[in-house]
Each structure stands twice: as C-alpha cells, then as structure tokens.
Amino acid sequence: MIENNEPVRAVLGIDIGGTGIKGAPVNVATGEFLAERHRIDTPQPATPEAIGQVLKQLVDHFAWTGPVGCTFPAIVHNGVTLSAANVDQSWILAPAQDILAQATGLPLVLMNDADAAGLAEVVFGAAKGRQGKTIVITLGTGIGSALIVDGQLVSNTEFGHLIFPSDEIAEKYCSAKVKEESGMKWPAFTERLNQYLLHLQLLFSPDFLIIGGGISKKHEKFIPNLKGLRFPVVPADLKNDAGIVGAALEAARQSGI
C-alpha cells in the first residue's frame, strides 16, 4: 500500500552479486517492490558482456523502459569500476556504468552493492533517523560494507578487504560463502564474526552496526551470541532486498524522480 496517497515513483533496481543477479521495479517513495523479484544466476566468467546480457534479460522480463539503478560488487567511482573481488578481472578500470547502460539501452546509475544496501537502510530501514556512525556489513559471497555518518553515506569503504586476522582479508575469514563452503557450524562462524567485529570496533568505534546479506535471514543463529561489543548489532530490515532498493533510490536521486 502506498502511504499518504503519494504517487508511484518507479525505478528498476538491479543487484549484481557474485552468484546471482536479481532485480525488481521499486516504488522509491515507499521502498516497496512493484512486481515479484526476478533472479538469474551470475554468468561464469562474469565478464562485462555476459553481465550486460543478463541485465538486458531483466529489463526485458519486466518490459522496463525507465531509469535503472544497479549495484556492483566493486569500488565504483564516477561510473568506473576500480576493483573486481568476485567478478571477472576485466572489470578493473572499466567504464562499467556506460557499458551496462548501453547493454540495457536505458539510463543507468551504478553504485557499490553494500553502499546501496546502506542507503536503503538509512531511508527505509534500521538506520533511519539514526545519528552518529553506523556501519552496514553485508555477508554474502564476500563482505561488503557501508559507512553512514549522521545519516549521510560515505561511499566505497572496503572493510571486507581489511587484513584480518593476520595474513588474509576478512571476507576470506567470515563471509557467508566461507561458512557454507567449509561446512562451518554456527558457533564457529559466530566466533569468527565476533573477532572481526571487535576489530572494526577497535578501528572505527561505531555507534551502531547492521548486518545484511542473505545470512541475515538467520540472524537469530548468531547475533544474540556476539560478545564484547560496545554497540548494538541488528539485522538489516530490508534483508537481501536492500541492494535493489538502494540502487533504485540512487538512480531516482540522480534522475530527479
């Protein structure tokens, strides 16, 4: 239901991940999906051409003709991807926003996937109206991060790439993928995640932390067992849909919708 009789302001949101690409049209006035989410497996190798073809499939699936907001699992600066953690290395220094806009034939705005999730949580979710420093961590194929200070997003943080615990990066230590592929039980995973969050506490002293990604659906398995943290930890309100909503919000902002 649309609140306060606000008109529908629709943008197609697409979330590109290391294992799946999913999208839905979003009413950016309310954060609600206007159609059922559609998901397609991420092609392997995840080259620009292959991902562009999947985005065109999603556009065709929804018969979409308007603006598109899209996330990407990389540093995205002025439409250029500067890293490629869980996709093909050919994305590094690629004019990704232009590539994907051409593939869809539509105006498209590209942003980091965790930044999109953080933006959605600020506008519609657990970080709404919250002051101070909030960190959003998305646990999936890797670890994405978003830093929000007094309600404003500080883009392109890469806390999942911190060297942790000693000679590897954090996302190879306590991502959802690591848990799944190793068959790690919840207590062992919780201990690893706890140590990582204590490290973030040491470095950033956040006031609040939100955990998103698909694993947040099972937050009762690990969040209550976290210890020694000076800040509350909560699951993302928008769970695994936050990237789609956040991408749509940013595209709406840049399009003036």
CATH number of domain containing 167:
3.30.420.40
- Cα-atom radius of gyration of the chain, to the nearest Å? 17
Cβ contact 216:239 at 8 Å:
yes
pTM, two decimal places: 0.91
Q: Which domain holds residue 250?
A: 3-114+242-255
Q: Which helix (H) or strand (E) holds 81?
A: strand 80-81
End-to-end CA distance of the chain: 20
Alpha carbon of 26 to those of 56, 210, 243: distances in Å?
A: 17, 22, 11
SS3 112: strand
Same domain for 110 and 139?
A: no
Question: Does 227 map to a domain?
Answer: yes
Question: Does 120 map to a domain?
Answer: no
pLDDT digits (tens, 9 = 90+) for 184-225: 999 999 999 999 999 999 999 999 999 998 899 999 999 999
pLDDT at 147 over 60: yes
For the chain, the domain total comes to 2
Same domain for 208 and 163?
A: yes
Amino acid at site 183: G
Same domain for 78 and 132?
A: no
Cα gap 78→28, rounded to integer Å: 23
Question: Does 121 map to a domain?
Answer: no
pLDDT digits (tens, 9 = 90+) for 24-34: 999 999 999 99
Same domain for 101 and 156?
A: no
> Quick one: pLDDT at residue 3?
47
